Amino acid sequence: MSRAVVLSIVVHTVALLCPSIQMERDHDCNTELDEILNQISDLEKWRAIFNEHRNRDSSDQATFFQSSTVQFWLELRKYCVTERPPEKAKTDEDCEDSAGKPQSSAKERQGLTNLLPAPYSIPRTLAVSPSLGGLPITPELAGNLRRILFGNTFHVFNYEWKKSFFKFREPYSDLSYALEAEKGGSRAIQMVVQANIIKYLLFTCHNNSDGCRLQSLREVDEKEQERALAAALTDILWAAGEERGVTVSLVTSGYCFTPHLDYKLDNITERLQLFSFNKKKDVRSFIYEHIQCFKDEGSHGVILFLYSLILSRTITRLREDLDCTTSHLLHLSLGNFGCHQALMNLLLTGRASPNVFNGTLHYGEDGSPLEKPLHGVLARSDVGYLHWSRELLERNQLPMVGSMLKTPKLPIWLCSINGTYSVLFSPNRCLLSDWKMEHLFHLYFYNGQLTQQSTALLTVDTHSHHWEIGVKDTQGDPEKRFPSVEMTIRTKWEGAAIDWNNTVPFF
């Protein structure tokens, strides 16, 4: 390995880091740079290491060179991250909100991307070795993945998606069961996984009374978080694979194929390695063994899970699930890719039906037969779905969620509120199987946002119907006066009175 190569890496690194540091913080740029250069002057060490390995054969050298470079980058990145001023973290948050203020945040994001050498482009440590087995992806399959996701082969996941992974909040805290959700389209997927994590912690892994169950959400340590995530991902994939077979995709080091001309490389899809299983427990232990590929920064965890979901459902079955209203799973909205309802239904029910009503619709509103039937939800799933949006309501376009989704097997609901996703749940397993339980009960609410510091407790009273009292004296639409979560709950329990246990309604 020549010195020139090593030096050129260093020069490249500094060149990459400098402009962004200057841009971010002009005043103390020089001290920053000195620090970095100091670290780099450790180069003697690297040289020695390289020299030591000079006589290895060339392929060996290449591998060694890669891993050393990665370490080197990681060192630099660690430096950047630890030295990051507190307001940087906020910039990170803000710039996700690209819809609101595209100009400034795009610039900030650029700065940030430069400062932290794009974590997703170097995580060889998160890439599995090709010797792990499995099958490399074929160019045909890569093209089909693109088409079923985007409707073509030249769209690729944007930065928001690439940086998304499954990140838990503080272990042993009030929210130790909770994932931090992004603001973009990947949030939808994170929140369905969140619902399944709650399912595991409340109803699968323990056999406790309601009170203890709730406690089990607060006492989650890091290992248990990982087990819960593995169980949640497995449950969703297993349902999509019709409880027969699942394919998990991970990223390997190195490219698996040379793409066709019309295929745009994205550095992830071409490197997929596919692992197939036909026993649920094997899927779960495999995912658990490689949980860092889903929960570590730079893992592209959400994308890998989405690919696994599609591969487990298979492209053929997906095409059968869809109907003439939806031809692919993601849609472009406000510069980001959002999830079509078909993808949400695939995550919730294992079948990518594009509509939220029950069953299959053969007739139009006027009673005449439809040329092609519309596909709705055929069976109840563990996790349900509620939908409310003031905008759609005002335009009279709020979809009527059918009983299959509104009344799931377990009292956990993914909620779509104004187009963002959150979860409502109850620790009372029998809530939906005994109508007397539904007179007066508690629901817990988590919206995935960092601003939420504890799980909200709502008391739902379906008996007294007093929520409209007081509304009559003030003119105007009651739906404008009530928090969105309440309106969402009332799409299932009509007219229910909802109490926020002395806290200020925040959503």
- By the criterion CB under 6 A, which residues form the site for ligand NAG? 121, 207, 266-267, 358, 390-391, 402-404, 417-418, 457, 484, 501-502, 507
In the structure encoding, which two tokens stand for residue 22, read together?
A: 């200057």
Closest CB 426 distance from ligand NAG, rounded Å? 13
Q: Where are the alpha helices (DSSP H) in 370-475?
A: 390-394, 403-406
Q: Are strands 412-417 and 330-333 parallel, antiparallel or unpaired?
A: unpaired
Give min distance, CB of 185 to ligand NAG, in A. 17
Min separation Cβ 266 and ligand NAG, Å: 5
Please identify, using beta-carbon distances, which residue of 89 and 370 lies nearer to ligand NAG: 370
Phi and psi at residue 279, to the nearest 5°: -125, 135
Looking at the Cβ atoms of 54 and 395, the one nearer to ligand NAG is: 395
Cα 283 off chain centre by: 19
Distance CA(51)–CA(329), nearest Å, equals 51
Tokens of 295: 């929960």
441 beta partners = 460
Q: In 3D, which of 364, 362, 359, 363 has the Cα closest to residue 376?
A: 359
Kindly state the smallest distance separating residue 325's Cβ from ligand NAG, in Å: 18
Nearest approach, Cβ of residue 195 and ligand NAG (Å): 18
Q: CB under 8 Å to 354, separation ≥6 — which residues?
A: 321, 322, 323, 325, 326, 340, 341, 342, 345, 374, 375
- For ligand NAG, the closer CB: 30 or 209: 209
- Burial classification of residue 129, based on how many CB atoms lie within 10 Å of its CB (0-12 exposed, 13-18 middle, 19 or more buried): exposed
CB 96, min distance to ligand NAG, A: 16
Q: Is 286 or 425 the residue whose CB approaches ligand NAG more closely?
A: 425
Q: Two tokens at 69? A: 């470079």
Nearer to ligand NAG, 121 or 129 (CB): 121
Nearest to 16 by CA among 30, 33, 34, 31: 33
Nearer to ligand NAG by Cβ, of 291 and 417: the residue is: 417
Q: Minimum distance from CB of 264 to ligand NAG (Å)?
A: 8
Nearest approach, Cβ of residue 457 and ligand NAG (Å)? 5
**Which CB atom, from 171 or from 505, has the smaller least distance to ligand NAG?**
505
Residues with Cβ < 8 Å from 75, sequence gap 6 or more? 39
Measured CA to CA, the distance from residue 388 to residue 55 in angstroms comes to 66
Closest approach of ligand NAG to the CB of residue 38, in Å: 27
The residue (of 201 and 246) whose beta carbon lies closer to ligand NAG is 201
107 or 206: whose CB is closer to ligand NAG?
206
Q: Which two tokens stand for residue 379?
A: 């069976």
Residue nearest to ligand NAG (CB): 358
Residue matched to tokens 């969620």: 401
For the CA atoms of the chain, what is the radius of gyration? 25
Tokens 């929960």 belong to 295
- Phi (first) and psi of residue 162, to 5 degrees: -60, -30
Q: How far apart are CA 62 and CA 68, in angstroms?
A: 10
- Considering beta carbons, is residue 268 or 343 the nearer one to ligand NAG? 268
DSSP string of 250-275, one letter each residue: EEBSS---PPPTTPPP-SSGGGEEEE
Min separation Cβ 424 and ligand NAG, Å: 13
